[in-house]
């Protein structure tokens, strides 16, 4: 069956499985580095394994293109950046994911490319950059300020020959948005996060529609050695089976919690695209199928109070990654490379626990730290 024949949630459950009589219901982890010759496969770094191929098939159908799986999200990002010719100009958000910023800075210092930093909410700046840059690297919703770019407008804007538009859609997942449908050339998922959903692996995925671009990225992955492992591919596929269910629950929780936090006297600001008060709510409402399960908020008081708050919570884990079935939060300014973030900003990944239990934990931690200076 083809992706066009079924709903996204059915595809998540059906795709990437063996189809012949007598085969297992799930593609098992094929733990092999090489294969007997002659045959269609000879080495895992080049041809992959059936486990890897199953995961890539699932992701390609979700995004609407052809997918390549990598050993991490940053391995996937680096593959795109390093495909740029020396002397290229690339545009990135003003406050990108800190590892992406480090990659961009390193390349600029080495003379590989020139970097322009643009406000994600400034659609006119991005559409103008499409006529001047070789790569537009968009991150939407953004980490951790939750800015939503007007992806349909930017991805479909006129651009000069050779300009590639890539979107990090990790916070949204294909459940919420599919940038290739808007005209993007590449969509990147850190499958470590919501795709796998259980905080137990590292993986990244690039998905494209152009065959020439796919071949270029495929051969770069071979040369750079960023292939996903068999167990990671197996776990990512198994985790992705419940992506639709997990996102439905987490997004419902997030909307309730965002509204409650916004009304709380000890919260100074909530950044969640689903709130009408969010700066780019109109963008999100115009094309996204939901608002995701990520938000950030500022507690009142000091950075010390923010640290005490995340350490006091009992149900919600103080952890730096996100997108798992469990809720996590962190004081983002303590992360290397994110020191410019507001000292009181908390990044919050909303999980699938009962919403009232999550709220009780937040409310109790706010009450317990109310007098921390």
Give per-residue pLDDT as tens, 54-109: 999 999 999 999 999 999 999 999 999 999 999 999 999 999 999 999 999 999 99
pTM above 0.85, yes or no: yes
**pLDDT value of position 195:** 98
H/E run at residue 92: strand 88-93
Distance CA(246)–CA(240), nearest Å, equals: 9
Q: Quick one: pLDDT at residue 357? A: 98
**CATH class (in words) of the domain with range 3-240:** alpha beta
pLDDT of residue 335: 87
% of the chain at pLDDT higher than 90: 94
The mean per-residue pLDDT over the stretch 148-161 comes to 98
**pLDDT value of position 373:** 78
Question: Quick one: pLDDT band at residue 338, thresholds 50, 70, 90?
Answer: confident
- Say how far apart CA 29 and CA 46 lie, in whole Å: 17
Q: Is the pLDDT of residue 307 over 90?
A: yes
Confidence of residue 229 (pLDDT cuts 50, 70, 90): very high
Cα–Cα distances (Å) from 150 to 74, 141, 255, 283, in that order, read 24, 10, 21, 6
Give me the DSSP letters along 130-187: TTT-SEEEEESS-TTT-----HHHHHTS---TT-EEEEE-TTTHHHH--GGGGT-SEE
Q: Mean pLDDT across the stretch 328-350?
A: 93
Report the distance separating Cα 303 and Cα 307, nearest Å: 6
Q: Alpha-carbon distance 370 to 373, whole Å?
A: 8
Domain ranges of the chain: 3-240, 243-368
Sorted by sequence, the CB contacts under 8 Å of residue 147 that are 6+ apart come out as 93, 120, 121, 140, 141, 279, 280
Each residue of 191-205: pLDDT tens digit?
Answer: 999 999 999 999 999
pLDDT value, residue 358: 98
Q: Give yes or no for residue 219 having a pLDDT over 90.
A: yes
DSSP code for 332:
G
The percent of residues above 70 in pLDDT, for the chain, comes to 100
Report the candidate in 148, 169, 197 with the shortest Cα–Cα distance to residue 64: 169
Two domains, one topology: 3-240 and 243-368: no
Residue 129's pLDDT band, with cuts at 50, 70 and 90, is: very high
pLDDT of 67: 98
CATH number, domain 243-368? 3.90.1150.10
Answer yes or no: is pLDDT of 42 > 90.
no
The yes-or-no verdict on residue 336 having pLDDT over 90 is no
């Amino acid at each position: 069956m083809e992706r066009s024949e079924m709903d996204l949630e059915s595809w998540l459950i059906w795709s990437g499985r063996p189809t012949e009589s007598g085969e297992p219901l799930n593609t098992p982890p094929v733990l092999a580095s090489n294969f007997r010759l002659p045959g269609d496969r000879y080495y895992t770094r080049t041809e992959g394994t059936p486990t890897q191929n199953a995961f890539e098939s699932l992701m390609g159908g979700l995004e609407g293109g052809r997918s390549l799986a990598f050993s991490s999200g940053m391995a996937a990002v680096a593959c795109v950046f390093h495909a740029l010719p020396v002397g290229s100009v690339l545009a990135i958000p003003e406050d990108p994911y800190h590892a992406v910023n480090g990659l961009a800075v390193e390349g600029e210092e080495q003379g590989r490319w020139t970097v322009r930093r643009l406000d994600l909410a400034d659609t006119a700046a991005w559409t103008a950059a499409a006529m001047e840059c070789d790569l537009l690297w968009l991150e939407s919703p953004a980490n951790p300020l939750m800015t939503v770019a007007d992806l349909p407008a930017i991805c479909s804007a006129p651009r000069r020959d050779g300009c590639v538009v890539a979107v990090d859609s990790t916070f949204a997942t294909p459940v919420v948005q599919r940038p290739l449908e808007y005209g993007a050339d590449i969509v990147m998922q850190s499958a470590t996060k919501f795709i796998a959903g259980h905080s137990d692996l590292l993986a990244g995925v690039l998905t494209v529609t152009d065959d020439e671009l796919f071949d270029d990225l495929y051969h770069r992955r071979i040369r750079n050695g960023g292939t996903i492992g068999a167990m990671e591919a197996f776990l990512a596929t198994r985790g992705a089976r419940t992506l639709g269910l997990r996102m439905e629950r987490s997004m419902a929780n997030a909307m309730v919690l965002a509204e409650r936090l916004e009304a709380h006297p000890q919260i100074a600001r909530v950044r969640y695209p689903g709130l009408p008060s969010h700066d780019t709510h109109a963008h999100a409402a115009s094309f996204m199928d939901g608002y995701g399960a990520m938000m950030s908020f500022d507690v009142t008081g000091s950075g010390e109070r923010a640290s005490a708050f995340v350490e006091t919570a009992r149900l919600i884990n103080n952890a730096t990654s996100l997108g798992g079935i469990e809720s996590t939060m962190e004081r983002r300014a303590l992360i290397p490379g994110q020191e410019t973030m507001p000292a009181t900003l908390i990044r919050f990944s909303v999980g699938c626990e009962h919403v009232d239990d999550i709220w009780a934990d937040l409310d109790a931690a706010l009450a317990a730290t109310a007098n921390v200076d």
